[in-house]
A = this chain, B = another copy of it.
Amino acid sequence: MESRNIRLAVIPGDGIGTEVVAEGLKVLEAVGTKIEATHYDLGAARYHRTGETLPDAVLQELRGYDAILLGAVGDPSVPPGILERDLLLRIRFAFDHYVNLRPVKLFPGVRTPLADTPAEDIDMIVVREGTEGLYAGTGGVMRRGTPYEIATQESLNTAHGVERVVRYAFDKAMSRPRKKLTLVHKTNVLTYAGDLWQRTVNRVAEEFPEVTTDYSHIDAASMFFVSQPERFDVVVTDNLFGDIITDLGAAIAGGIGLAASGNINPEGTSPSMFEPVHGSAPDIAGQSKADPTATVLSVAMLLDHLGLAAEAAKVEQAVADDIVERSAGRAGRTTHEIGDDIAARVSS
């Protein structure tokens, strides 16, 4: 990476989003990378103040950054879907973040809630499609509020959209020791979309003879995440199934407080966006109770994405060390304290 500053757009968002992003930036600063961060006050507050979710001009501006760091969006004061669709999903779609990358890995020192599961059994990465499926938002409602109401949602799946994310997943599988890829879908019920996904995996698999592939229905996969997580190495799946299974993945890997994610445009034609898997958690917002670790790990993914592998590794190591210390008794820290502790390790 050339030594020019990294230009970072920061969208703290709602609820605990602002709290955890502050700590993510603290750690980023501690890394010593030259960062030029610009904050955008998108989210519930701005929506209430101005009625805006994501003005076109802002979307245009965001395009000019090297990357985006997002906290979380969503607030009970805003009808469900408005901020999610018009802000978060709008960015994912506009910037063609077709890879939503979510590692599910148990850090040493973290206890999985799964009894009898050795730590090394939980080590996979979920490659979730990020731009189509049921998230397309198409559908509608007729005769709303009457006994004859009908509400529809459409899952849109294209060869273009499926193939590129499947290819990414195979590449990812090649970079891992086990070289195993599992398609998760529901081909026996969603026969049109499932058929497209399965055929695509079968076809791309021919180019990756070293990768072992298998298949699991989403219902069985949810069961196996709990009973046999060692089945999984790289999981590739659609937008909705990926949403569900990565929260479940976070749960088995010690909690949503540690789950990082990247919304990636692999071609780099637009900035990728990094965000914790957790939401805005309005119930604990403003109390400095949120764990910023997921955001810090998302910052590590961001650094790695920008080619700063050494810096990324440093942040990850700091988190790993912090977690070990945590398990040795340093519980009950505030959001700030955890951020301070990780930042101190990074700069030491």
Contact = CB atoms under 8 A, between A and B. Distances in A.
Interface of A: 74, 80-81, 84-85, 89, 111-117, 134-135, 137, 139-141, 143, 145-160, 163, 186-196, 198-199, 218-220, 222-227, 240, 243-248, 250-252, 255-256, 279
Contact of A193 (B148, B151, B226): B151
B157 A189 contact: no
A220 B279 contact: yes
A222 B195 contact: no
B248 A226 contact: yes
A240 B193 contact: no
Contacts of A246: 219
A192 B140 contact: yes
Contact of A223 (B135, B186, B250): B250
Given A222-B251, A223-B251, A227-B255, A187 B155 contact: no
A85 B189 CA distance: 7
A196 B156 contact: no
Given A115-B114, A244-B218, A187 B150 contact: no
Contact of A226 (B85, B187, B252): B252
Given A114-B114, A115-B113, A192-B151, A222 B222 contact: yes
Nearest to A185: B80
27 contacts: A74-B188, A80-B195, A81-B187, A84-B188, A85-B191, A111-B115, A141-B196, A145-B199, A146-B159, A147-B163, A148-B158, A148-B160, A149-B158, A149-B159, A150-B157, A150-B158, A151-B192, A151-B195, A152-B155, A153-B193, A155-B155, A186-B243, A189-B240, A219-B248, A220-B247, A222-B251, A244-B244
Given A151-B157, A151-B192, A157-B151, A244 B222 contact: yes
Which one of A114, A251, A279 has the highest number of Cβ atoms from chain B below 10 Å of its Cβ? A251
Contact of A81 (B74, B113, B149, B188): B188
A244 B219 contact: yes
A191 B80 contact: yes
Contacts of A148: 158-160
A143 B146 CA distance: 38
A89 B186 CA distance: 14
A147 B163 CA distance: 9
Which of A220, A225, A246 has most chain B Cβ within 10 Å? A220
With most chain B CB atoms within 10 A of its CB, the pick from A145, A146, A150 is A150
